[in-house]
Every structure is written in structure tokens, then in C-alpha cells.
């Protein structure tokens, strides 16, 4: 691994409450930096805290590669942070909560906001698939396929480290395929 290629940035994004902060905390080597504040919009999503700025964590992979992990806010009023955090990202993980009634629309929205996988590789993680009335996992892949997009889609529980690492590992494979000089053994 050459020094110049040994560190890069990936971004976790997706709607409010999907688990971006939780996912980064599940895999970060050290306690992540969090900018969560008291959630005053309990109607949008009923939880105590919400990210107002960003999440930041990092992991060192077995081969020495350092991966910087950034999480966006989910709320639309912090939309400006998505562009800031997306700058120079090697790849993006879009998290979707299948229990939210507009999950398929949210998928389109976040995939498009981060370039539809054309500029920067994107991997999708779908959570809470066991929720009553949630669309099946296939519905998310098919939604993308009808738009001519072929992106990896996994069912995940963001609280589980192996699930989050699966998303990261898949994204690293896509980054390497998109630009073979980005990661070298
Ligand atoms: N029961 C259950 N809880 C889950 C599941 N996935 C995530 N959660 C919980 O959902 C919550 C997600 O909260 P956050 O990690 O703050 O979500 P976020 O995407 O960072 O939210 P914002 O920053 O507000 O956009 C956490 O309390 C998780 O433990 C699941 O599959 N089942
Ligand atoms: Mg958050």
C-alpha cells in the first residue's frame, strides 16, 4: 500500500432516524465524534437526539488502510451539510429504513443527491425489513433497476458491526473497481 493511497473517506447518509450515527459507532475504532442535539422534531422521527452537523469515526483495516467515516444529518434543514461532507468522498453508503412509509422515495432522493452512483460508488443498506408492511428487500433493488441503476443493496441491522462492515467492504470493492489505483496491495 502506498502512503498516498492509504487513507480515504466514506460518507454514511440517509433519512432521519435510519441509523447513520449508530452505524458509525458500531464500527469506529474509537468513540466517534458526534454533533447530536436534542431532537425538537419528534413528529418527523420520535427519538431523543438528532445529528445537527456530522458524525466522524475511523477504522484501520487489516492491510493498514485507514478509512475515515463521516455521517450526514438526516433532516432536510441540514441539507447543506450533505454537499460539504460529500466533497472528496471515495464512496457513499445510503441507509434506508424500510419501516418508514416513504422508504422507496427516500431511496431515490438520497441516491440522486449523491450522484446516483455515477460519480462516486454507492452501496445501499436497508434496515427494519421485518417491520409489518415494509417492502421486501427486492423492491429496493427493483426500484433502482427501473431507473437503470445497478447498485448493491443489502438488508442490515445498523446496530450490528458485521452488517455495517459488510457495507464498508462492498463499497471498498466498488471503489477499487472504479479506480484500480485507489487501493493497491
Ligand atoms: N429496534 C430497532 N432499532 C433500530 C434498528 N436499526 C436502528 N435502530 C435504532 O434506531 C435509532 C437510530 O438513531 P440514529 O443512529 O441517531 O439515526 P440517524 O440516522 O443518525 O438519525 P439523524 O442523525 O437524526 O438523521 C437508534 O436508536 C438505533 O438503535 C432496528 O433494526 N431495530
Ligand atoms: Mg445521526
Closest CA to 58 of 47, 71, 45: 71
pLDDT score of 180 more than 80? no
Residue 185 is predicted with a pLDDT of: 38
User: Would you say 39 and 50 are in contact if contact means Cβ atoms under 8 Å apart?
Assistant: yes
pLDDT score of 43 more than 80? yes
* CATH 3.40.50.300 correct for 3-178: yes
Using a 6 Å CB cutoff, which residues line ligand 1?
Answer: 16-22, 47, 50-51, 73-74, 127-128, 157-159
**Distances from the Cα of 161 to the Cαs of 28, 29, 42, 85, in angstroms?**
9, 11, 27, 23
Residue 5 is predicted with a pLDDT of: 54
The ligand minimizing its distance to the Cα of 42 is 1
The ligand minimizing its distance to the Cα of 97 is 1
User: Would you say 100 and 15 are in contact if contact means Cβ atoms under 8 Å apart?
Assistant: yes
Amino acid at each position: 500500500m502506498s502512503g498516498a493511497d492509504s487513507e480515504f473517506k466514506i460518507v454514511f447518509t440517509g433519512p432521519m432516524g435510519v441509523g447513520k450515527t449508530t452505524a458509525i459507532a458500531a464500527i469506529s475504532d474509537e468513540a466517534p465524534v458526534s454533533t447530536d442535539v436534542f431532537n425538537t422534531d419528534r413528529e418527523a422521527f420520535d427519538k431523543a437526539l438528532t445529528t445537527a452537523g456530522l458524525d466522524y469515526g475511523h477504522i484501520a483495516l487489516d492491510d493498514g488502510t485507514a478509512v475515515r467515516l463521516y455521517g450526514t444529518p438526516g433532516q432536510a434543514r441540514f441539507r447543506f451539510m450533505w454537499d460539504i461532507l460529500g466533497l472528496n468522498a471515495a464512496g457513499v453508503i445510503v441507509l434506508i429504513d424500510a419501516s418508514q412509509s416513504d422508504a422507496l422515495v427516500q431511496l431515490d432522493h438520497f441516491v440522486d443527491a449523491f450522484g446516483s452512483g455515477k460519480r462516486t460508488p454507492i452501496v445501499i443498506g436497508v434496515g427494519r425489513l421485518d417491520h409489518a408492511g415494509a417492502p421486501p428487500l427486492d423492491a429496493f433493488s427493483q426500484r433502482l433497476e427501473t431507473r437503470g441503476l445497478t447498485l448493491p443493496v443489502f438488508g442490515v441491522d445498523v446496530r450490528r458491526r458485521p452488517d455495517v462492515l459488510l457495507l464498508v467492504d462492498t463499497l471498498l470493492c466498488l471503489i477499487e473497481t472504479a479506480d484500480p489505483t485507489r487501493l493497491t496491495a
